[in-house]
Each structure stands twice: as structure tokens, then as C-alpha cells.
Amino acid sequence: MRALSISAFLAGWAIHGCAGYIPRPRADGETCTKTTVAVLGGGMAGITAAQALHNASIDDYVILEYRDRIGGRVWNTDFGEDKEGNPYSLEFGANWVCLVLLQGVGSETTENPVWTLAKKYNLKNYYSNYSSILTYNETGYTDYSHLLDIYSEASTKAGENAGRILTENLQDQTARTGLAVAGWRPRKDDMAAQAVEWWSWDWEDSFSPETSSFVFGVAGENLTFNQFGEDNNLVIDPRGYRQIITGEASSFLQPDDHRLHLNTQVTDIEYSPHGVTIHNKDGSCVSAAYAICTFSLGVLQNDAVQFTPALPPWKQTAIHKFNMGTYTKIFMQFNETFWPEDTQYFLYASPTTRGYYPVFQSLSTEGFLPGSNIIFVTVVSEQAYRVEQQSDEETKEEVLEVLREMFPDKDIPEPIDFGYPRWTKEEWSFGSYSNWPAGTTLEMHQNLRANADRLWFAGEATSAAYFGFLHGAWFEGKEAGEQIAAMLQGRCTEVEGIDEECTGRVHYSPLHGTTPEDSYTAENGWLVDSVTVTA
């Protein structure tokens, strides 16, 4: 009953602040709430960090969350309705969970911690079969599925090349270059090949091969799918994917817990070697010995929070070096399922524009939400920015035009429900998840996750191995919480990732053009050896 109570208490929707906020004048003699650790953000990383503190018997902390619910970018919404008039729950944000390998590394089984939580809370999910796909262009069904096999062969070779670059300490390159060397060289006017490439690269990274790191793009995917398993399951739980976060929160937070501050927008952070003071838009403030900032990379890049003193140049450079991607799912419910009911994915090659409403996914298929008549299409990067500036009506007309091209023999009706998020406009996220750009070294990434005095950073973007994934946020939150607990309890040398003087994570002022081989260690956030990195 305790889990049910806290889940009900934490349910709800975001209350957004105003753009262009000007920091308020501070009153002389202002009194702040004092705590040992302030956790900034109530997403996966923030809740996991607080849980790590609790597990280390440190319960003097507060969690400051912008929205009126925890979960962060794990965000579900009511959409459409079933035959009984009850709404479906769909995921605007994180949607998939990677399963466990039946045979793990060596003699042990390696399990994704998010999959462990999914089992713990009986999260409803179903296998995404990426082989269940039909291909289309502006004339209707057109079979260019052979290109998927051609790309797959080139991708395998590219993975081998990436592993060699990584282990031999060679210069990184764009994914475009790496794929071309491996034999994948689609012409700009071959829109079928462009669609296949989008399906195989952009859909995962939220950026094109031209802007993505080849080495770390390949390594990041392999570290997840080779270590945890190739299967991806789509979460379709009526409680929402965030049930795993609210469920874990209920294990150490009481209903109406005074340590959880919802509807709290952080505006200013003052940090020093002696502590951190956090000022909020509502006039409240918190004084802490340490703070763990789990804000998204997008929030840090958009100056949504002011830092005093300004973050050092090495930190600012790292923040603005990495990319924040936008992954926008556009949902539609119709009064019938006019698309093939036994197929999960439908790949569309626009005759003129790469990434123009390229992948439709059916939720009406058996195993997901059969009979729901719900389908959604995903756009990323420039197309995501474009549709997020449009009205629902403008976007709906564009999507319907594409569907009518894909299914020319069908009478495509108006949807009975339609909607999508505007990630670029959400002031608590400013995007969906991070991506590692080309030519960026692991040293630069260590600067992204390194602490500034007693202000620490955690989240999916600070995970070298699992950036962009929910389990990356889990690992990073847990590690930051454990490391700060070790510092508070004077046992720093027992915890990997911080130096013996308890000053925190190492950062690099001079940067090298390539990543030194000895940087690939657990202490620097790289969790496995180079053998696992190779394809």
C-alpha cells in the first residue's frame, strides 16, 4: 500500500515557468533550509542518487524537482480511449527497455538494471521486432528491404573498424566517414537508401551520421546491446514507464515526504569548496554541503540556471561540445486500423526530404495495444525542431498526406485523437537525450561529468558507456550518490572514480586530440574493456 500511496501522490502533469526568467533580488540575511546533500532533479538519475545516499545511511537530503511529479524525461500521457471509454497511457519520452543476455560476459549473466526494475514492478512491455517492417515511398508499397541487409553488412564491418580505432588510440571521425570506409555510401538522391540509413542510425542517435561520433556512436550501441542483449521491448504499461522510478522512490520516501520538493524551479546555484546554495523561483533556498545536479544537457546548454561563480571554461566547453537531441513521437488514433495489422514498422522514403516522417509504428498490433487503432511516427533533429514549431493541425495534415501516399488504395480518415510533445520548448529538458559528436575525446566527456568544487553532475549525458539511455542515468545517479556518501563518511579510497584526497572527479584542462588508452578505466566512467567495445 505504501508504493501505491506514493505513486498516487506523485502522479500529475508539469507546471511550466515563464521563459526569460530574471533572477530575483535576494533579501539581506536570507535564511536557507540546510541539508547535507541537495539532489537537483527528480528523474531517474536524481531518484537513484537519493536512493544511493539512503542506502549509505545518509538521509539528510532534499530533492528539488521542477515539475509536480517525478520521472523526468520518462513521461507518460493519457491518449485516445479504448472501447470502454478509458484512456490509453502512452510514452512521450523513454519507451524501450533492453533485455538481459541469456549468456552474459564470461560465466556470469549481465542484466540491464532497468530490466531488473521492469521485472520488479511487473512493467507491461512487449518485444519490438525490427524485422517486422514494410517499406514504402510516395507511390505506395515498394520493396527496398534488401538495402537493410546491405547496411547491416557494412555496419558490422564499421564496428570492427571502430574497435581498431579505439584500441589503437587513433583519431575519431564522423559516422559518415566510418560507414563510407566500410562500404555504405548512399547517394543523396537515393531516397530509399537514405530512409534505410535513417532507420539504422538517426533513429537511435537522434542525429545524422555527419554530426555523430563514429567511434563512440558504435561503442555506445555495442556496450548496451552486446552487453545486455539485442532485444528491445516497448513499454506499454497503463501506469507508465515511470512506475519503476516512483516505485523505487517509495522505498525510501514517505507520502508527503518533506524532503521531496515538487514544483520547485531552480534558478541560481552558488558553489564553492565549502558548499552549495540553491535559489529557487518561488523565493526559497537550500544550503547544502554537496549538491548533485541531474539537469539535462539541454538545460545546461540553454542557461536555464545561473551559476555563481560561472562554471570554469573547461566545464562550459564540455557542456557546449556535446549535442542534445530531440526525438519526437507523433501519435494518432483512428476509428480503424487501415494499415497491415500483423506488421510493427512501416518505413517511408520521402521523394525530396531525408527524415520526413520516416518511421511509423503500429500499437494496434497483437502484443501491444490490439484494437486501439493507434499508430505513431517519429521525427528527430531538424525535422523534430520544425514540427515542434508547428501547430497540431499543420503537422496532422502533413502526416495524413504521407499516409495517403503510403496507402493509396485506402480512404484515410481524420484521426479521432492526435498529439505530440514539444521537447525543445520544455524548460525542464530542452530536448530528449544527448549524443556524442564527432571528434570528441573521452577526456572532454570526463570534463562534462567532473564536479566543480562541491557541485556534482549526473545523468544520461554524463555516462560515457550508456549516454542517451535510461540505464545510463541509473548508473550515473547511483555512482554520484555513492561517491558523495563515501566523501561524507571519509572512505573515499574505497570507491572508484574519486581521488584519495576526496576532492572529486579528475578533469582535464589541456585536452588531447585523441583519448589516451589509459583513460578507458572504471575510474573515468568507462565501464568495460576494449574487447566488449568491438563489434
**Residues 310 and 330 reside in one and the same domain:** no
pLDDT of residue 99: 66
Q: What is the CATH number of the domain that holds 100?
A: 3.90.660.10
Per-residue pLDDT reduced to its tens digit, 115-142: 999 999 999 999 999 999 999 999 999 9
**Of 121-135, 244-258, 486-500, minimum mean pLDDT range:** 486-500
Q: Phi first, then psi: what are they for 371, rounded to 5°?
A: 85, 0
In degrees, to the nearest 5, what angle opens at C-alpha 310 toward C-alphas 306 and 316? 95
pLDDT at 104 over 70: no
Phi-psi category of 229—alpha, beta or left, where left has phi over 0 and alpha has psi -120 to 50? left
Q: How far apart are CA 471 and CA 225, in angstroms?
A: 12
Task: Assess if residue 87 is contained within a domain.
Answer: no
For residue 473, give the 3-state DSSP assignment: helix
- Give 149-183 as a DSSP string: HHHHHHHHHHHHHHHHHHHTTPPP-BHHHHHHHTT
**Residues 329 and 414 reside in one and the same domain:** yes
Helix (H) or strand (E) holding 297: helix 297-301
Q: How many domains, the chain? A: 3
pLDDT at 273 over 70: yes
**Residues 117 and 183 reside in one and the same domain:** no
Rounded to the nearest integer, the mean pLDDT of the chain is: 88
Q: 266 labelled as ligand-binding? A: yes
Region 429-441: mean pLDDT is 93
- Domain end point (choices 423, 445, 471): 423
- Domain end point (choices 172, 196, 226): 226
**Residues 303 and 436 reside in one and the same domain:** yes
Task: Assess if residue 437 is contained within a domain.
Answer: yes
**Residues 307 and 254 reside in one and the same domain:** yes
Task: Assess if residue 17 is contained within a domain.
Answer: no
**Residues 331 and 459 reside in one and the same domain:** no
pLDDT of residue 518: 63
Task: Assess if residue 508 is contained within a domain.
Answer: yes
User: What is the domain range of residue 333?
Assistant: 96-132+325-423
**Residues 270 and 251 reside in one and the same domain:** yes
**Residues 436 and 520 reside in one and the same domain:** yes
Q: Which three cell numbers stand for residue 88?
A: 490509453
CB 418 within 8 A of CB 396: yes
**Residues 330 and 417 reside in one and the same domain:** yes
CB 323 within 8 A of CB 207: yes
In the sheet that 96-98 helps form, which strands lie side by side, from edge to edge?
Answer: 96-98, 232-235, 125-127
**Residues 126 and 151 reside in one and the same domain:** no
pLDDT of residue 521: 57
**Residues 439 and 408 reside in one and the same domain:** no
pLDDT of residue 528: 39
**Of 94-98, 218-222, 478-482, minimum mean pLDDT range:** 218-222
pLDDT of residue 205: 93
Per-residue pLDDT reduced to its tens digit, 298-340: 999 999 999 999 999 999 999 999 999 999 999 999 999 999 9
Task: Assess if residue 484 is contained within a domain.
Answer: yes
